[in-house]
Amino acid sequence: MLALLQMNEWSPYVVGVGIGLLSCCAFLLSDRPLGCSTAYARTSGMLEQLFRGKKVREMDYYRQFVPEIDWEWMLVLGVFLGALTSAGLSGELRIEWIPSVWADTFGPAHLPRLLTAFAGGVIMGLGARWAGGCTSGHGISGTLQLAVSGWLAVAAFFFSGGICAYLIFTLGG
């Protein structure tokens, strides 16, 4: 079992089955689909509460998404800790400010990389909240429920990912 945990890469089929089983457990135990973008919204509310206090909970958005630690928040924490543990066990754990693919394509400067990563994170966060969920919510849980919107979302994820990869590796290089 330890050898499995020390692998650098797992089979995408094994991981897919694991995510599917986790999604089924989430439905069975909580009657809710797997998703995590709401955790980021709740976190922003908790951070805002540090400055504005309980007034934050009076906002319409935070009445719907109460700024508190819930199971989705713990899921995000678990994903982070699981990734950290996995990287440590596989010997791949390292801090890398400029990934080699980025450096090869755009150069070694730190500021453009940090600004791009920040902007990308903000855009993805806004898009996830605007869409009412993230890739795990729409893609994994949506397809698990055989929702047409879930399958359309997955098609859009792959299509837009392909376009972005093309632009980065063809035009950027």
Burial of 76 (0-12, 13-18, 19+ CB in 10 A): middle
Q: Which two tokens stand for residue 111?
A: 């500021």
Query: How does pLDDT run across 113-163, given as a tens digit for each residue?
Result: 999 999 998 998 888 888 877 877 788 888 888 889 889 989 998 999 999
Query: How does pLDDT run across 29-59, given as a tens digit for each residue?
Result: 888 888 888 888 899 999 999 999 989 999 9
